[in-house]
Amino acid sequence: MTIEEAVIKVKKTFADAFGGEADAVYFAPGRVNLIGEHVDYNGGHVFPCALTLGTYGAFRKRADKKIRLISANFPENGVEELPAGVFAPLSSDSWTAYVLGVVWAYAGDGYICDTGFDLAIYGTLPGKSGLSSSASLEVLVGTALMDQYGFACGQVRNALLGQKAENKYVGVNCGIMDQFSSAMGKKDHAIFLDCASLSYQHVPLDLGDASLVIVNTNKPHVLADSAYNERRAQCETAFAELKAVRPDLPSLCALTPEEFLEIGSAIKDPDRYRRARHAVMEEARTRCAVAALLGGQLTEFGRLMNASHVSLRDDFEVSCPELDLLASLAWDTEGVIGGRMTGGGFGGCTVNIVRNEAVEGFVKNAGAAYRKEIGYDASFYVLGAGEGARCVG
């Protein structure tokens, strides 16, 4: 679906639900992380890019304090009406919790909406795929609030307030990567982001004669009731153990692999040790991968992607049979440069770099093998890096 078609669809949803026309239509993309997984909350570097899929929102301010919401993706839910300024916790199973959470986060930062609003959304990301549909929605709402209410906080602050909404209102302890990618994406570039300082560099995503192929396991990816929060807690405890012997240590990912070998024995639990080892080694892999890409060494970038998946599978234990099968199928396919799980894990997607002449065969053969082994289809998407959040109509 083109941008124009998505805008028409969300405008129609708005008009059918609320009558009249929206003031504006906004878009915020999902993201895929090329390498640097589960290090964003450990003070490390990540390397995501915004996608051309994401969330569209048709927005109109109201004269009263009501907030009315509708989703073209869940038409059976109809219009949900909420009083502005009332922030009773909502179930995180409802997409409306993310909208209200952003309004709550903005208000807590001094950006208070003086009226309510009508909002219709339409998402083009596959649901529960690990491509950050929730962050896309949060950044979309923040972008609309900034534009419509004159909140001059900027997209970096918008990303931080979206993260706050997810952490403190919805209850998922995500890092900053997802919201930052959606807010700050740039066409044909990935973002080399230092999650500790928020310094970043847009790096040209020059894949030559290759393309990004994202494969959705179609196994639901649910963070709020998964082991995601447990993994984060394990990393925090491991960091505390290491800091006891290195008081000046600012984060897990500030350690080099060599330094980790020297002091890692301070971590007393073997599971926590492996979680910390993943974070330290993934940070090193990410730095090397970006250097390889800048140097035109795409094969080395792919090798590091593969190694990242192995570490996520064995040390961080956030993979699953479906993700492991897709990664293995990629590694065994001629013309696939690299492939790994992406996102929080326990389902969701893999990201692969595939030579253009091999894409058709990879989709056909990996798809058939996956269906035979798992019993249902995977979904394949050939995508590029897109722009960040913006007004589109």
Look up residue 229 and give its two tokens.
């929060």
Give the model confidence (pLDDT) of 156-186 as tens digits.
999 999 999 998 988 877 889 999 999 999 9
Give the model confidence (pLDDT) of 290-307 as tens digits.
999 999 999 999 999 999
pLDDT at 122 over 60: yes
Give the model confidence (pLDDT) of 8-39 as tens digits.
999 999 999 999 999 999 999 999 999 999 99
**Three-class SS state of 29:** strand
Look up residue 95 and give its two tokens.
């997409």
Give the model confidence (pLDDT) of 303-346 as tens digits.
999 999 999 999 999 999 999 999 999 999 999 999 999 988 88
pLDDT at 84 over 70: no
The one-letter amino acid at 295: G
Mean pLDDT of the chain: 93
User: 275 CB contacts (<8 Å, ≥6 apart)?
Assistant: 231, 234, 235, 238, 315, 316
Burial class (CB in 10 A: 0-12, 13-18, 19+), 153: middle
CB 214 within 8 A of CB 350: yes
Of all residues in the chain, what percent carry a pLDDT higher than 90? Answer: 83
**C-alpha closest to that of 169 among 215, 137, 201:** 137
Nearest 5°: the CA angle 381, 384, 389 is 110
Q: How confident is the model at residue 229 (pLDDT cuts 50, 70, 90)?
A: confident
User: 384 CB contacts (<8 Å, ≥6 apart)?
Assistant: 52, 187, 188, 211, 212
CA pair distance 245, 228, nearest whole angstrom: 27
Reported as type and span, the H/E element at residue 140 is: helix 133-149
Name the active-site residue from 40, 64, 114, 178.
178
**DSSP of 242-268:** HHHH-TT---GGGS-HHHHHHHGGG--
pLDDT at 99 over 70: yes
Out of 3.90.320.10, 3.30.230.10, 3.10.450.30, 3.30.70.600, select the CATH number for domain 3-204+387-391.
3.30.230.10
pLDDT at 224 over 50: no
Give the model confidence (pLDDT) of 339-361 as tens digits.
999 988 888 899 999 999 999 99
| Residue 374: φ, ψ to 5° | -95, -35
Give the residue-averaged pLDDT of 71-100: 80
CA pair distance 125, 163, nearest whole angstrom: 19
Domain-wise residue ranges, the chain:
3-204+387-391
CA pair distance 121, 128, nearest whole angstrom: 17
Check if 114 is active-site: no
Reported as type and span, the H/E element at residue 155 is: helix 154-164
DSSP state of 90: -
